[in-house]
């Protein structure tokens, strides 16, 4: 714009001058000169003004650059906090609680047909109750190791160390070693903490075969293959302190586990992962309580081998991979367990039958399929079906009539295939807060349907957690 005017003036001057020489009168000449002078003056003023603006702009740009440079140095070398606080690890706390309305008394809960695990698998308490508060602390230890600790503070005012482990960061070649107490890498849900679940509780196979989830003291070695397809294999050796194993004083390892996984994307909108896992333990003096046919409470023990296979898959969908508005998560797992060994009926000799020893072998299975669909930002709906198959349970005492025992003396192992249907709605204002309504019809007990209503909150405070797939 401005440049065009200068050109116009120059042209006018060049053309106008000779015109004046040839044909103009003196008066006209003076007028043209005046006009030119006015134009010249006007442009000079404007050019000066522009020059001033340019100088100012340059100065401010320099200033901005200086500030930027300063900030850059600051950004590169952030002023460290002084003292020991500078190395404080990341701390996060999960608060959770439920209000439950249960048709059946939670005190008589059992998963009929399946050996009780001793884990926290019940439907929880009626009415309002605090859930587990989970305190997690994590930080890099040095360039080689990272440490992680979670304690669950139970509503009964007990502290339980859920996980406490270190892992390597720089082993390289796709290898990672973890040691301490940790949730086993088997299956899909096993590694997830309760606050990350899509439902208030775990699916039936996890309750029946792992006593909620498998956590052990030991070591884990994982390897990610250098391939475009995600391939991961891992092996674990542990104490076998909890179901399906049993804690004892023994050199060596009581639990061995292995898993292999494949995963990848299918276009921008789909991602999947599938895996196969195996757990082997040798329970020794693993006890559970039962009631014999005369109504006497007895304690039974199992000694032998327990082998569990798990096949799992998870599939996630989000339009163009953008999960903000809508997304779907679907996963399912199939469990199959074989146990064989000896069952000691009435260890303490409390019943009229006295202590009786015979074989026990079983092959039982279970599966679940669940989906959670976010249909609008912040809102999700979920549906779950889980089911256990009684399979075959061969109790030697019953088959041989040892000590006069019959199937009626083993009511916990009565033939029953539990199942459950669950519907869930939840609202997450942000990724740090979640409110949930869950409705369920639970047929874990023989011949009884427990109608359950839960209201739950899960709140995360502190360090931003990063969740696994």
Q: CB neighbours (10 Å) of residue 168?
A: 15
The binder of other proteins chosen from 51, 72, 285, 394 (CB under 8 A)? 72
The reply on whether position 195 binds other proteins by CB under 8 A is no
| Closer by beta carbon to other proteins, 27 or else 75 | 75
The reply on whether position 336 binds other proteins by CB under 8 A is no
The reply on whether position 48 binds other proteins by CB under 8 A is no
Closest by alpha carbon to 244, among 362, 145, 93? 362
Indicate the pairing of strand 230-238 with strand 215-224. Answer: antiparallel
Distances (CA, A) of 45 to 39, 41, 51, 410: 10, 6, 10, 106
Locate tokens 């992962």: which residue?
Answer: 273
The binder of other proteins chosen from 99, 223, 315, 334 (CB under 8 A)? 223
Q: Which ranges of 270-356 would DSSP assign to H, the alpha helix?
A: none
Considering only residues 405 through 464, tell me which ones interact with other proteins, judged by CB under 8 A: 429-432, 464
The binder of other proteins chosen from 181, 207, 222, 416 (CB under 8 A)? 222
Considering only residues 75 through 94, tell me which ones interact with other proteins, judged by CB under 8 A: 75-76
| Closer by beta carbon to other proteins, 363 or else 414 | 363
- DSSP calls for 140-205: E-SSSEEEEEEEEE-TTS-EEEEEEEEEESS--TTEEEEEEEEE---SSSTTS-GGG-SSSS--HH
C-beta of 250: minimal distance to other proteins in Å?
Answer: 22
C-beta of 252: minimal distance to other proteins in Å?
Answer: 17
Site size toward other proteins, by CB under 8 A: 63
The binder of other proteins chosen from 26, 84, 156, 228 (CB under 8 A)? 228
| Closer by beta carbon to other proteins, 379 or else 425 | 379
Angle, in degrees to the nearest 10, between helices 26-76 and 2-23: 160
> Are the C-beta atoms of residues 193 and 215 closer than 8 Å to each other?
no
- Structure token pair of residue 90: 């990341």
Considering only residues 134 through 193, tell me which ones interact with other proteins, judged by CB under 8 A: 140, 143, 146, 167, 169-176
| Closer by beta carbon to other proteins, 45 or else 170 | 170
| Closer by beta carbon to other proteins, 332 or else 418 | 332
- DSSP calls for 210-247: HTTS-EEEEEEEEEE-SSSSEEEEEEEEE---STTS--
The binder of other proteins chosen from 323, 350, 407, 446 (CB under 8 A)? 323
Which positions lie near other proteins, rule CB under 8 A?
Answer: 67-68, 70-72, 75-76, 140, 143, 146, 167, 169-176, 222-233, 235, 258, 260-265, 268, 271-273, 278, 316, 320-325, 377-378, 429-432, 464-469
């Amino acid at each position: 714009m401005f440049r065009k005017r200068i050109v116009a003036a120059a042209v006018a001057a060049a053309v106008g001058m000779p015109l004046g020489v040839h044909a103009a009168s003196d008066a006209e000449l003076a007028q043209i000169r005046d006009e030119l002078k006015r134009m010249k003056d006007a442009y000079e003023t404007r050019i000066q003004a522009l020059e001033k603006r340019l100088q100012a702009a340059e100065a401010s740009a320099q200033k901005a650059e200086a500030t930027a440079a300063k900030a850059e140095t600051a950004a590169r070398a952030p002023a460290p906090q002084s003292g020991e606080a500078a190395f404080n690890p990341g701390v996060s706390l999960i608060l959770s609680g439920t209000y439950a309305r249960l048709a059946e008394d939670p005190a008589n809960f059992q998963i009929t047909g399946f050996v009780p695990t001793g884990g926290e698998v019940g439907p929880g308490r009626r009415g309002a109750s605090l859930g587990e508060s989970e305190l997690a602390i994590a930080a890099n230890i040095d360039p080689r190791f990272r440490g992680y600790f979670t304690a669950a503070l139970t509503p009964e005012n007990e502290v339980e160390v859920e996980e406490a482990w270190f892992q390597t960061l720089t082993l390289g070649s796709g290898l990672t070693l973890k040691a301490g107490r940790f949730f086993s890498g088997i299956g899909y849900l096993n590694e997830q903490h309760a606050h990350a679940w899509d439902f208030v509780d775990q699916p039936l196979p996890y309750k029946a075969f792992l006593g909620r989830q498998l956590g052990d003291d030991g070591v884990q070695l994982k390897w990610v293959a250098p391939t475009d397809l995600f391939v991961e294999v891992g092996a674990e050796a542990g104490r076998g302190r909890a179901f399906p194993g049993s804690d004892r004083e023994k050199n060596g390892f009581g639990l061995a586990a292995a898993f292999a996984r494949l995963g990848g994307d299918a276009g921008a909108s789909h991602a999947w992962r599938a895996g196969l896992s195996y757990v082997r333990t040798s329970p020794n003096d693993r006890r559970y309580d039962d009631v014999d046919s005369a109504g006497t409470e007895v304690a039974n023990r199992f000694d032998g081998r327990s082998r569990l296979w798990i096949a799992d898959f998870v599939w996630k969908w989000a339009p163009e991979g953008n999960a903000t508005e809508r997304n779907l998560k679907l996963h399912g797992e199939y469990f199959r367990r074989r146990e064989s060994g000896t069952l000691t009926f009435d260890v303490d000799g409390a019943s009229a039958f006295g202590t009786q020893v015979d074989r026990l072998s079983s092959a039982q299975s279970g599966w679940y399929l669940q989906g959670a669909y976010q249909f609008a930002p912040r809102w999700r709906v979920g549906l779950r079906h889980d089911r256990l198959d009684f399979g075959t349970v061969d109790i030697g005492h019953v088959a041989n009539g040892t000590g006069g025992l019959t199937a009626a003396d083993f009511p916990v192992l009565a033939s029953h295939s539990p199942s459950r249907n669950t519907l869930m709605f939840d609202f997450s204002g942000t990724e740090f807060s979640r409110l949930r309504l869950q409705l369920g019809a639970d047929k874990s007990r023989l011949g009884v349907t427990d109608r359950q209503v839960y209201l739950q909150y899960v709140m995360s405070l502190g360090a931003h957690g990063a969740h696994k797939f």
